[in-house]
């Protein structure tokens, strides 16, 4: 009897099962939601507000300046140079990063016994600490101590100081960036390649596409196009964010030849502490990145259709 009496209020007190699940859900999500709020949302709001002020870290007075920071940006030679350099860098890295990786992937895919050997070697730079490897590159490219300068001189190009030549510094950084990311793109392409059904090649062969070039143009390239689009976007985004090699190797020099967006942003925000101005710059960077990511999201949706 006591049992029944005890169990009735227990049941009544309890929320309906659906409510319990909802409560559990809210409780589980709460910590992450709180982090999302403090690490992402609140900073975004503050960022946009800051970009409308002339705030400098440590300053006593703050003024609203409206869109003045944005206006300044477009007349600021440093910022304009940074934009130009960043896009140039992307323009260097992108074609080589995509087509180079595709070529490597196609060659590696065809190997049977040595396939994983090459995979490891090409992927190695992706896992290694870029800052540490950049110091190695610096040494490699050192005009008197490194082996690259004499090698190039041996090929008849004269003694070049690649990192200190305003015409070559950015391209040199691009080569290092390429070295770092090639293996990553290769793996994506390898995944794409192995997803192409064998039967398609066999059907193409029956249809008369016998040569390697025919096969590539009729089957591989069209079937790979979602992967290619995708690799293009991810490469663009990561090239757009070039930073580590600039800090380690050139610090924007020589003569601003390697000032890139993130590096300039870093200097303005955390060296000169022109917070308001840096905030405006960040907003611009964000707009670029969001546009690219939206494009990427669209492509992912398309990929699902293809797959």
Partner 1 sequence: MLPVKQRMRDGVTRRDGAGEGVRLVGIAKSFGATRVLAGLDLVVREGEFLTLLGPSGCGKSTLLRIIAGLEQPDRGSVSIAGRSVDHLPPAERDVAMVFQSYALYPHMTVAGNLATPLEMRRLTLLERLPVIRHLSPRRRRVMRGIMAEVRAVAEALRIEALLDRKPAQLSGGQRQRVALGRAMVRHPAVFLMDEPLSNLDAALRIEVRHELSDLHARLGTTFIYVTHDQVEAMTMSSRIALMDQGRILQLGTPDELYDRPASLAVARFIGSPSLTVLETVADGGGGIRLGALRLPFGHRFAAGTRLTLGIRPEAFALPLGPEADGPAFSARLVRAENLGAEWHLHVRLNLPGEPSAIVRLTAAEHEAARACGLMEDPLTLVLRARGVHLFGPDGSRAEPDRARTVMME
Partner 2 sequence: MRWRACLASALSHVMLATGAVLMLAPFVWMLLTSIRPAEEVFGAVFNPIPSRFAGGENYAQALFASNVPRAMVNGAMVCLGILAVQLATALPAAYALARLRFPGRGILFGLVLFGLTIPIQVPALPLYLALAKTGLLDTFFALMFPFFLTVFGLFLFRQFFRTYPEEILQAARLDGMGEFEIVWRLAVPAALPAIGAFSIFSVVAHWNDLYWPLIVVTSTDRATPPLGILAFRDAETGGNYGALMAGATLITAPLVVAFLVARRAFVRGLTMTALK
Residues 6+ apart with CB under 8 A from 164: 143, 253, 254
Site residues (CB under 8 A) for partner 2, limited to 219-258: 230-231, 234, 241, 243-244, 247-248
- Residue (of 300, 181, 299, 164) closest to 239 by Cα position: 181
Residue with tokens 């009735």: 8
The one segment of 4-12, 84-92, 148-156, 196-204 that binds partner 1 by CB under 8 A:
4-12
For residues 165 and 173, the answer to whether their CB atoms sit within 8 Å is: no
Q: Is 4 among the residues that bind partner 1 (CB under 8 A)?
A: yes
Among 5, 6, 32, 307, binds partner 2 (CB under 8 A): 32
Among 7, 8, 14, 24, binds partner 2 (CB under 8 A): 24
Q: Which two tokens stand for residue 127?
A: 């896992």
CA distance 270 to 53: 17
Q: Is 12 among the residues that bind partner 1 (CB under 8 A)?
A: yes
- Kindly state the smallest distance separating residue 117's Cβ from partner 2, in Å: 8
- Kindly state the smallest distance separating residue 182's Cβ from partner 2, in Å: 8
Q: Which two tokens stand for residue 54?
A: 């002339």
With contacts defined by CB under 8 A, how many residues of the chain interact with partner 2?
90
With contacts defined by CB under 8 A, how many residues of the chain interact with partner 1?
13
Q: Is 27 among the residues that bind partner 1 (CB under 8 A)?
A: no
Could you tell which of partner 1, partner 2, none binds residue 12, using a CB distance below 5 to 8 A set by kind? partner 1
Residues 6+ apart with CB under 8 A from 103: none
CA distance 133 to 14: 60
The one segment of 7-15, 31-39, 76-84, 251-259 that binds partner 2 by CB under 8 A:
31-39
The one segment of 6-14, 198-206, 227-235, 264-272 that binds partner 1 by CB under 8 A:
6-14
Site residues (CB under 8 A) for partner 1, limited to 64-93: none
Please state whether 252 falls in left (phi above 0), alpha (psi between -120 and 50) or beta.
left
First to last CA, the chain: 63
The site for partner 1 (CB under 8 A) is made up of 3-4, 6-7, 10-12, 14-18, 20
């Amino acid at each position: 009897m006591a049992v029944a009496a005890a169990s009735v209020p227990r049941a009544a007190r309890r929320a309906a099962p659906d409510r319990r699940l909802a409560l559990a859900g809210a409780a589980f999500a709460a910590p992450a939601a709180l982090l999302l709020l403090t690490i992402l949302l609140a900073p975004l709001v503050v960022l946009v507000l800051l970009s409308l002020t002339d705030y400098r870290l440590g300053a006593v007075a703050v003024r609203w300046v409206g869109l003045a920071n944005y206006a300044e940006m477009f007349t600021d030679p440093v910022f304009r140079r940074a934009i130009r350099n960043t896009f140039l860098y992307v323009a260097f890295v992108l074609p080589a990063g995509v087509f180079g990786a595709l070529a490597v992937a196609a060659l590696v895919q065809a190997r049977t016994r040595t396939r994983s050997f090459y995979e490891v070697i090409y992927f190695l730079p992706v896992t290694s600490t870029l800052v540490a490897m950049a110091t190695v590159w610096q040494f490699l490219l050192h005009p008197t101590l490194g082996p690259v300068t004499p090698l190039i001189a041996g090929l008849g190009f004269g003694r070049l100081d690649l990192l200190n030549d305003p015409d070559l510094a950015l391209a040199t950084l691009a080569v290092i960036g390429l070295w770092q990311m090639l293996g990553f793109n290769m793996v994506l392409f390898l995944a794409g390649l192995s997803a192409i059904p064998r039967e398609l090649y066999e059907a193409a062969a029956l249809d008369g596409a016998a040569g390697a070039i025919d096969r590539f143009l009729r089957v591989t390239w069209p079937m790979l196009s979602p992967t290619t689009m995708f690799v293009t976007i991810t490469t663009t985004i990561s090239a757009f964010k070039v930073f580590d090699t600039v800090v380690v190797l050139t610090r924007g020099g020589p003569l601003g030849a390697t000032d890139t967006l993130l590096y300039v942003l870093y200097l303005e925000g955390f060296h000169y502490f022109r917070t308001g101005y840096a905030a405006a710059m960040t907003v611009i960077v964000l707009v670029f990145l969001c546009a690219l990511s939206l494009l990427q999201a669209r492509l992912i949706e398309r990929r699902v259709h293809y797959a």
